[in-house]
Structure 1
Amino acid sequence: MAQTYELVATVRDRVGKGAARALRREQKIPAVIYGDGKTALPIALPQKEVSLKLLAGGFLTTVATIDVGGDKIRVLPRDYQVDPVRDQLIHIDFLRITAGDTIAVEVPVHFLNEAASPGLKRGGVLNIVRHEVELECPADAIPANIEVDLTGLDIGDSVHISAVKLPEGVTPTISDRDFTIATIAAPAVLTAEEAAEDAASAPTA
C-alpha cells in the first residue's frame, strides 16, 4: 500500500468557472469532497503540493487526509482533470473514506522477470491486455500495484487473473470469468515467415 499523506485546504465560498479560474491564478486547485451521505464540500488546495503528489505516482490508489479548518477528512482521489494545453491540474474529486469501507479501484499491473521468459527470449512480444485491473479493496489496504511473474512463459502462453497472488481481502470486481491480463505473442517476423511457408507448401490448382 502506498504511504498516506496530508494536505491543508480551504473552503471555497464561490463555485463556477469564473471562481475556478480565479483560484488557479492564485496557484490553487479547485476540488470537491463527496460521499458518506454528506453534502459535497468544495475546497481549494495548493497547486504545487498536489501536483507533486500526482507526479509521485499512485495518486488514485492512495488514501490521504485533508485538513479543512482543523477538520481532518480521510479521502481517496477518484478523478482529476488536467488542462490539455498547459498540462496542469485543474480539478480533483475526492471520496470520503471511513473505517471499514471497501472500494473498487483501478490498480496498475507490473510485469516481472521478462528475462526469465523463454518466449520473450526468442523474440516473442508481451501483449498486455490489461494495464490496470479493477479490484475490490479495503479502503485502508489498497495495493499500490499487482505483480505478474513472466518466469517460464513461452510464445502462446497467457496470464490470467487466477495466476496473480492478491493481498488478503482484495478481489477482482470481475468474478464471473478468469480474465486474461497478458499473453506472449509470436513476433511479427516469425508470423510472416510462417505465412510464407504455409503459402509455399499449399497445393497449387
Structure 2
Amino acid sequence: MEKFQKFTGVAAPLPMMNVDTDMIIPKQFLKTIKRTGLGVNLFDEMRYDREGNEIPDFVLNQPAYREAEILVAGDNFGCGSSREHAPWAIKDFGIRCIIAPSFADIFHNNCFKNGILPIALPQAQVDVLMREADKGANARMTVDLENQTITTADGETFPFEIDAFKKHCLLEGLDDIGLTMEKARAIEAFESRAAAERPWM
C-alpha cells in the first residue's frame, strides 16, 4: 500500500447526507475482486444517465473536479452495506482523503485498509471546508497526516484527530498483509521451532 504523508490537491464538494455504499459503487459492479478499474463507476448513477452519458451537473464531471483528490461530504458517509468495493472505487478514481462530520464504522475502517484517510470534523468546520471546495479549480487544500492538519488555500488550518495505530499504518503504507509481513522473521522462527519440536505435524 502506498505511504500516506502530506499532499495538496483539489477538494470536491458533495453536500449530501447518508451517502451509502450503493451510491458510491452500485451493486452491478461488485463482480470483480480486482481493486483497479472501479473508479470510472464511482457514483455511477449520479455521474451518468441511462445511456451512459455524463451528467454535466454532477461535481466529478465538472472540469475543475475531474482530478479531485479530496472529497468534502455530508454526515454519515459510507453507510449501507459493508462492500469493500466502495473504498476501492474511491481510491481508483484518485481520491485520497474524505472529510465529513461522520462515517459509517465499517466503511471508515475499510478506508484505512485501502490507503484512504477519512477525517471526521465538527459540522461547522465541514461547512467552512465545503464552501472552500465550492471554489472550483481554486479549491486546493493541503492534508498533512503527520501533523494532523488540513490547510485551505487561504491558509486557514483545521486540526483533526486520528487513532495512533491507524495513523502509523497509513504513514508506513501498511495494510493487513503488510502488518503481517512486519512479523515475518518471528513467524519463520516459530515455524522452524515448531517443526523441530513436533516433526510429526
> By the TM > 0.5 criterion, same fold?
no
Query: Whose strand proportion is higher, 1 or 2?
Result: 1
User: Is the helix fraction higher in 1 or 2?
Assistant: 2
TM-score of the two chains, using structure 2 as the length reference: 0.30
